[in-house]
A and B are shown apart, each in its own frame.
Chain A
Amino acid sequence: MGDLVIISRERIPTAMNRISCATALAVAVVAVSGPAARADAPMSLFSAFSDKARSILNLNYALLAVCVIVIAVIGVLIGTGLARPRLRFQGGGAGVWPVSRPPGGLRWIYFGLALTALTLLGSLVWSMAVIAHVAAPRTTPALTIDVTGHQWWWEARYAATIQSRQFTTANEIHIPVGLPVHLRLKSADVIHSFWVPALSGKTDLIPGQVNETWIEAGEPGAYRGQCAEYCGLQHAHMAFSVIADPPGAFNAWWDAQLRPSPPPTDGPAVVGQQAFVRRCGACHAVLGTMAGGIYGPDLTHLARRTSLAAGTLPNTPGHLAAWIADPQGPKPGNKMPPLALSGPELVSIQAYLATLQ
């Protein structure tokens, strides 16, 4: 019942070859298009804007190249192996087919292992070198920021030796361009992970301990970051920005952060401030008012920020109103309760928040 058909050598590349070519191509395309595509791929690992990220990226490129080469070579070896003169199965039975032990198999293993071991050694040495290079900045950071992860937003406290120079903000972390910044990472609840791909890899924020890392931006700009450790319902909406300012602008920003916003003068905003303190002040703080809550983000200079709710919505009047009216809509499960504000309350609170420059 067995039948034996020997098929002649095939020249057509097998599907596996094609897949491995596609693999190489795909990685190449991403690698090439990456750096240029920062605006539409703000989290891409291929756009490094710090020495730290660049040194990791170089290693990443090398290892990706190794991966692509290995996949391609193995794909070709398997593909051409299948295309050698072969047998086709057409029903079978015991003892009908040839069996033999052709020599030469071990050579593959010796050769393969030697290459593998060299590659692994190279990778290890390079890895260790990068770790040593990025472990600490070349100059001691002058600035320390305490970053605390909350479900689901980021608190940033700027530490300064003079207590009156300290302040707290949220979700948008400004740093001076070209200077290393020391970060102390803490968590108020569960584990989060601090990650700004363009500047640095991840470091977890773990309750009960303080993790330390540092970042530095080589060019001015806003760099998107996002929580990278699963932290519950709204892990998906826990983004932030690191904004690198030229040193002068950075110092001006710091000074502005230390000052409360000017008190509102026009009618709705004045009413709104009272409503805000009454309805929102238990959780949120605004410098210079009775609102001193610590459970939600500090809103002292809310109107200067570009986004709301940890990168969930752009900071426009429409989105702000929608957010206050129904915080559970765009970010279901977040800790801000529905406030059931009346229409006039909503309008006045929004008018007040718009004054928090």
Chain B
Amino acid sequence: MVTVADYSRVPEVTPADYGSPLAERLETLWETKPGLIGWFGTVDHKEIGLRYLVTSFAFLILGGIEAAVMRLQLSWHDQTVLTPTQYNELFSMHGVTMIFLYAMPVLSGFSNYLWPLILGSRDMALPRLNAFSYWLYLFSGLFLYAGFIIGAGPNDGWFNYVPYASKPYNPGLNQDFYALGFILFGLSQTVGGINFMVTALRTRAPGMSINRFPMMIWGTLTASAGNLLAIPSVSLAFFMLWTDRQLGTHFYNAPEGGQPLLWQHLFWMFGHPWVYAIVLPAMSMVSDALPVFCRRPLVAQTAVALATVVTMIIGFGVWVHHMFATGLPNLSMSFFNAASLIIVVPSAISVFAWIATIRTGRFVLCTASLFFASFIFLFVIGGVSGFLTAAIPVDWQVTDTYFVVGHIHYVLIGINLFAVMGGIYFWFPKMTGHMLNERLGRWNFWLMFAGFNLGFFPMHIAGLLGMPRRIYTFPDGVGWNIVNLITTLGAYLFAIGFVVLLANVLLSRKHGAVAGPNPWDAAGLEWSVPSPPPPYNFVVIPTVSSRHPLWEDRLRETEGHSSIHEGAVLDADKETLGVSTMDAIPDVILKMPHDSVMPFVLALCITGVFVGLLLLSLVAIGTSLVLGLVAALVWLWPRAELGQRTEAVP
């Protein structure tokens, strides 16, 4: 018989280091058991974060190969490398891969790995949900690629406009793979978003109050909240597409009174917030990491944090700028023209904050900081081309041309990938304990920077020369040969630069210079733990008293001192502190769940349901549902040892 009294405990507060007996005890409690069960069952946020990173990079490489083949087809007029069927599936899969399977998950990977470390916690708030989210993501990616491999991949672009996506015009399984695969992917993002929000609001170090959040928390928190509001719209849209296709409903079917434009509204109500969701966390990574290389705190951090949130809020009010040519009334569209211009303001705050940080600080030149600095430059190019297309009359000319293709690539590669590249050079030492090679890094940077601008800037020119997007070939005599050839060459140079990164990672993973806990002399809590961090992250839970815990002695801006090496001992089981939302006053010792394969099994069963829906097989759906229910029961079966009503006194 267990009573509440058994849990009543005031944690001891002592100094401790990573070689102490306490650390050994924690290691035994927190480490993932070796073997297959351990591999499928781990809930360690660092392991899951790395899996997100590796998986999303695998998809990035696939999407890159697809692009490389397309660039051959488009390198000159009337090429026959690809048939139209192949080209359409390639460009659709390229978009789906990059925008969904790479861009968000790679940021989830960084956040998963780093959040508990920068928040001063031992794991994400909901570790099993975390594993569940990853498995769903992996399975949704495999589901979509299964269609692609059997020749039934999405073939209507990532935007998937109806009625071309409807059954009369698209009778194969292509769109069913996309509709169902996307809903599955949306589930993973929803689950992940919930986990990030609960983590940010609940499991932090004492004193990590909301005004002391590192920027990376703001970025991913904002993106997660945005996703929770945006994804239902597109999941519904895809579900209605699937019922139109398979059950004979008429949501989008014009001859029966359906409305094709309904799809575009639902899709872009999701799509535009999504674009911000896949850049805001990346911008926030730069906001945290760039100041380290300027040897000063970020200029106007509060304003930049507010700008992050405001961007997402306004981001929900600009979707119609994807639809300026659809014949909507000019007056209604004008509001979206204005909103699309207003959203430049928060972005400008961030850009000028970064520039001011560079110009008033002392810049440290290295591969990571080069990626971050060039990120600002590419951000501005992607930004101003967006500003141009926000003007309705100009958009009537440039929309659906390569100008927009150039814009989206400056946004997604410039703002997402370049930030991610810098993030890899910055945090790789933390993840592996080894530095990436700096000489290879410079090759990596310059090849990618030169290749990217050489390849993707001419896309704007192609667009201004009137080249429509999504065409599998173009005729001679329209003036698009040279720009396309340059784009192809640049894209290949860019790809070579990327290969240098892969080589650098493989070489440095084991043989790079030993990093130590804080190779960059950075300010965040993640740099106070060993590299790579032990499974339990912090031997004692630190207490935070400023935005820059490891710099506060030198900045001398706060009265109190953060306590890094002395704090609450939590070693009765897997435990971490729960804190109040605003001020981070500890109020509970949270018992964290142990490893379990049930998240994996449940994700597998849910994927089974979607395979059943794809094949219209009631047997598969029913079996998967029953097995999934059993897995959920095993996962959630109440256990006395997880009771957690203990008041903690710091």
Instruction: Give bound CA distance, A87 to B467, whole Å.
Output: 45
Q: Is the CB of B377 within 8 A of A74?
A: yes
Q: Is the CB of B88 within 8 A of A123?
A: no
Given contacts A74-B377, A94-B521, A99-B296, 14 further A-B contacts (CB under 8 A): A16-B373, A41-B478, A45-B466, A55-B393, A63-B391, A84-B359, A96-B521, A105-B353, A131-B392, A201-B325, A226-B468, A231-B164, A236-B472, A239-B475
Q: Is B612 an interface residue (CB 8 A)?
A: no
Given contacts A105-B353, A120-B345, contact A228 B468 (CB under 8 A): yes
Max chain A C-beta neighbours (<10 A), residue from B337, B453, B521: B521
Interface string of B361-392 (1 = CB under 8 A from A): 11111100100011011001100110110111
Point out the residues of chain B lying under 8 angstroms from A89, CB to CB: 293, 364-366, 369, 438, 520
Q: Is B169 an interface residue (CB 8 A)?
A: yes
Point out the residues of chain A lying under 8 angstroms from B198, CB to CB: none
Q: Is B254 an interface residue (CB 8 A)?
A: yes
Q: Is A71 an interface residue (CB 8 A)?
A: yes
Interface string of A116-134 (1 = CB under 8 A from B): 1100100110111011001
Q: Which residues of B contact A (CB under 8 A)?
A: 83-85, 88, 156-157, 161, 163-164, 169, 254-255, 258-261, 293, 295-297, 299-300, 303, 325-327, 330, 334, 337-338, 341-342, 344-345, 348-349, 351-353, 355-366, 369, 373-374, 376-377, 380-381, 384-385, 387-388, 390-401, 435, 438, 446, 449-450, 453, 457-458, 461, 464-475, 477-479, 513, 516-521, 523, 527, 550-551, 554-555, 557
- Which residues of A in the span 72-125 have a Cβ within 8 Å of any Cβ on B? 74-75, 77-78, 81-82, 84-89, 91-109, 111-113, 116-117, 120, 123-124
**B650 → A minimal CB distance (Å):** 25
> Nearest B residue to A26 by beta-carbon distance?
B461
Interface string of A211-249 (1 = CB under 8 A from B): 110000000000010111111111110010000000000
Q: Is the CB of B365 within 8 A of A197?
A: no
CB pairs A–B below 8 angstroms (5 shown): A44-B479, A55-B393, A78-B355, A190-B163, A209-B261
User: Among the listed B255, B457, B479, which residue makes an inter-chain contact with A37, where contact means beta carbons less than 8 Å apart?
Assistant: B479
> Nearest A residue to B346 by beta-carbon distance?
A113
Give the secondary structure class of A's interface.
Answer: mixed
Max chain B C-beta neighbours (<10 A), residue from A89, A111, A209, A231: A89
User: Among the listed A15, A66, A134, which residue makes an inter-chain contact with B393, where contact means beta carbons less than 8 Å apart?
Assistant: A134
Point out the residues of chain A lying under 8 angstroms from B395, CB to CB: 201
Instruction: Give bound CA distance, A56 to B397, whole Å.
Output: 8
User: Among the listed B327, B384, B473, B519, which residue makes an inter-chain contact with A206, where contact means beta carbons less than 8 Å apart?
Assistant: B327
Q: Is the CB of A190 within 8 A of B164?
A: yes
Q: Is the CB of A128 within 8 A of B334?
A: yes
Number of A-B contacts (CB under 8 A): 335
Q: Is the CB of B325 within 8 A of A82?
A: no
Point out the residues of chain A lying under 8 angstroms from B473, CB to CB: 236
Q: Is the CB of A98 within 8 A of B554?
A: yes
Instruction: Give bound CA distance, A104 to B296, whole Å.
Output: 12
Given contacts A86-B365, A130-B393, contact A230 B355 (CB under 8 A): no
Point out the residues of chain A lying under 8 angstroms from B472, CB to CB: 235-236
Q: Is the CB of B345 within 8 A of A113?
A: yes
Instruction: Give bound CA distance, A19 to B457, whole Å.
Output: 10
> Nearest B residue to A39 by beta-carbon distance?
B477
Q: Is the CB of A207 within 8 A of B254?
A: yes
> Nearest A residue to B458 by beta-carbon distance?
A26
Q: Is the CB of A100 within 8 A of B296?
A: yes
Instruction: Give bound CA distance, A78 to B380, whole Å.
Output: 11
Point out the residues of chain A lying under 8 angstroms from B523, CB to CB: 99
**A27 → B minimal CB distance (Å):** 8
Q: Is A179 an interface residue (CB 8 A)?
A: no
Q: Is the CB of A91 within 8 A of B380?
A: no
Given contacts A89-B366, A108-B359, contact A19 B377 (CB under 8 A): yes
Q: Is the CB of B521 within 8 A of A95?
A: yes
Point out the residues of chain A lying under 8 angstroms from B475, CB to CB: 239, 311
> Nearest B residue to A331 by beta-carbon distance?
B84
Chain A contact-residue range equals 35 or more
> Nearest B residue to A1 by beta-carbon distance?
B516
Q: Is the CB of B260 within 8 A of A229?
A: no
Interface string of A186-204 (1 = CB under 8 A from B): 0001110101010011111
Max chain A C-beta neighbours (<10 A), residue from B356, B401, B450, B518: B356
Q: Is the CB of B351 within 8 A of A112?
A: yes
User: Among the listed A23, A77, A128, which residue makes an inter-chain contact with B355, where contact means beta carbons less than 8 Å apart?
Assistant: A77
> Nearest A residue to B348 by beta-carbon distance?
A116
Point out the residues of chain A lying under 8 angstroms from B374, CB to CB: 16
Q: Which residues of A contact B (CB under 8 A)?
A: 1-2, 7, 15-16, 19-20, 23, 26-27, 30, 34, 37, 40-46, 53, 55-57, 59-60, 63-64, 66-67, 70-71, 74-75, 77-78, 81-82, 84-89, 91-109, 111-113, 116-117, 120, 123-124, 126-128, 130-131, 134-135, 151, 185, 189-191, 193, 195, 197, 200-204, 206-209, 211-212, 224, 226-236, 239, 311, 332-333
User: Among the listed B299, B342, B461, which residue makes an inter-chain contact with A105, where contact means beta carbons less than 8 Å apart?
Assistant: B299
Point out the residues of chain B lying under 8 angstroms from A207, CB to CB: 163, 254-255, 260
Q: Is the CB of B380 within 8 A of A71?
A: yes
**A46 → B minimal CB distance (Å):** 7
Q: Is the CB of A236 within 8 A of B84?
A: yes
User: Among the listed A67, A82, A88, A201, which residue makes an inter-chain contact with B388, where contact means beta carbons less than 8 Å apart?
Assistant: A67
**A234 → B minimal CB distance (Å):** 6
Q: Is the CB of A108 within 8 A of B299?
A: yes
Max chain B C-beta neighbours (<10 A), residue from A40, A127, A134: A127
Point out the residues of chain A lying under 8 angstroms from B471, CB to CB: 235-236
Point out the residues of chain B lying under 8 angstroms from A116, CB to CB: 344-345, 348
Point out the residues of chain A lying under 8 angstroms from B519, CB to CB: 91-93
User: Among the listed A67, A81, A94, which residue makes an inter-chain contact with B550, where contact means beta carbons less than 8 Å apart?
Assistant: A94
7 A-B pairs with least C-beta separation: A201-B396, A43-B466, A208-B254, A105-B299, A41-B479, A112-B352, A211-B327
Point out the residues of chain A lying under 8 angstroms from B353, CB to CB: 105, 108-109
Q: Is the CB of A87 within 8 A of B327?
A: no
**B264 → A minimal CB distance (Å):** 9
Instruction: Give bound CA distance, A239 to B467, whole Å.
Output: 12
Q: Is the CB of B396 within 8 A of A93?
A: no
Point out the residues of chain A lying under 8 angstroms from B388, CB to CB: 60, 63-64, 67
Q: Is the CB of A87 within 8 A of B299?
A: no
**A68 → B minimal CB distance (Å):** 8
**A314 → B minimal CB distance (Å):** 10
Q: Is the CB of B355 within 8 A of A189?
A: no
Instruction: Give bound CA distance, A67 to B341, whole Å.
Output: 14
Instruction: Give bound CA distance, A209 to B357, whole Å.
Output: 52
Q: Is the CB of B85 within 8 A of A202?
A: no
User: Among the listed B355, B363, B478, which residue makes an inter-chain contact with A108, where contact means beta carbons less than 8 Å apart?
Assistant: B355
User: Among the listed A2, A19, A95, A228, which residue makes an inter-chain contact with B401, where contact means beta carbons less than 8 Å apart?
Assistant: A228
Point out the residues of chain A lying under 8 angstroms from B520, CB to CB: 89, 92
User: Among the listed B295, B365, B369, B392, which residue makes an inter-chain contact with A127, where contact means beta carbons less than 8 Å apart?
Assistant: B392
Given contacts A82-B363, A120-B342, contact A208 B258 (CB under 8 A): yes
Point out the residues of chain B lying under 8 angstroms from A208, CB to CB: 254-255, 258-260
Point out the residues of chain A lying under 8 angstroms from B259, CB to CB: 208
Point out the residues of chain A lying under 8 angstroms from B356, CB to CB: 104-109
User: Among the listed B327, B392, B457, which residue makes an inter-chain contact with A209, where contact means beta carbons less than 8 Å apart?
Assistant: B327
User: Among the listed A19, A92, A108, A236, which residue makes an inter-chain contact with B453, where contact means beta carbons less than 8 Å apart?
Assistant: A19
Point out the residues of chain B lying under 8 angstroms from A333, CB to CB: 84-85
Q: Is the CB of A109 within 8 A of B342?
A: no
